[in-house]
Amino acid sequence: MGRRSSNPNLPKYVQMWKGLYRVRMQVPAPLQARVGKRELVKALGTTCLRDAERASHAIIAEFERIIRPPQEPAPHVWDMMAALGQPGGVNLTIARTPTPIVTFGEVITLWANERKPTSRTRRDFETKMDRFAAFIGNNNIASVTGDDIIRYKESLLSSDLTHKTAADILSAIKVILRFAFRNKKIPTNPGADITFSAKRLPQNELRQAFTPAERALILQEAIKADEFIKFANLIAAYGGARVAEIAEADTRDIEIESGIPVFHIRLDHRQPGQGLKNHGSVRRFPLHSAIINAGFLDYVAGLPAAGPLFPMLKIHNGRLSDGASRRLGAWLRRIGITDRRKVFHSHRHTFKTLARGIMAEEIHDAITGHSNGSVGRDYGHYPIAMLAQAIEKIQGF
Residues 184 and 245 in one domain: no
Rounded to the nearest 10 degrees, what angle do helices 49-67 and 119-136 cross at?
A: 60
Residues 218 and 330 in one domain: yes
Task: Evaluate whether residue 76 is within a structural domain.
Answer: no
Residues 128 and 22 in one domain: no
Residues 258 and 183 in one domain: no
pLDDT in tens, 155-170: 888 776 778 888 889 9
Residue 90 pLDDT > 90: no
Residues 6+ apart with CB under 8 A from 269: 250, 252, 253, 306
Residues 378 and 307 in one domain: yes
264 touches 251 (CB < 8 A): no
Task: Evaluate whether residue 103 is within a structural domain.
Answer: no
Task: Evaluate whether residue 102 is within a structural domain.
Answer: no
CB atoms within 10 A of CB 51: 17
Residue 7 pLDDT > 70: no
Closest by Cα among 107, 104, 200, 108 to 148: 104
226 touches 211 (CB < 8 A): no
pLDDT in tens, 288-337: 999 999 999 999 999 999 999 999 998 876 678 888 988 999 999 999 99
Residue 379 pLDDT > 70: no
382 touches 363 (CB < 8 A): yes
Residues 325 and 362 in one domain: yes
Residues 307 and 219 in one domain: yes
Cβ density class 93-106: b for 16+ within 10 Å, e for less: eeeeeeeeebbbbe
Q: Tell me how many domains the chain contains.
A: 3
For every residue of 315-336, which 3-state class applies, written as one string?
A: CECCEHHHHHHHHHHHHHHHCC
Q: Which has the higher per-residue pLDDT, 151 or 71? A: 151
Residue 24 pLDDT > 70: yes
The domain in which residue 282 lies consists of 212-391
**3-class state of residue 302 by DSSP:** coil
Task: Evaluate whether residue 99 is within a structural domain.
Answer: no
Residues 6+ apart with CB under 8 A from 334: none
Residue 9 pLDDT > 90: no
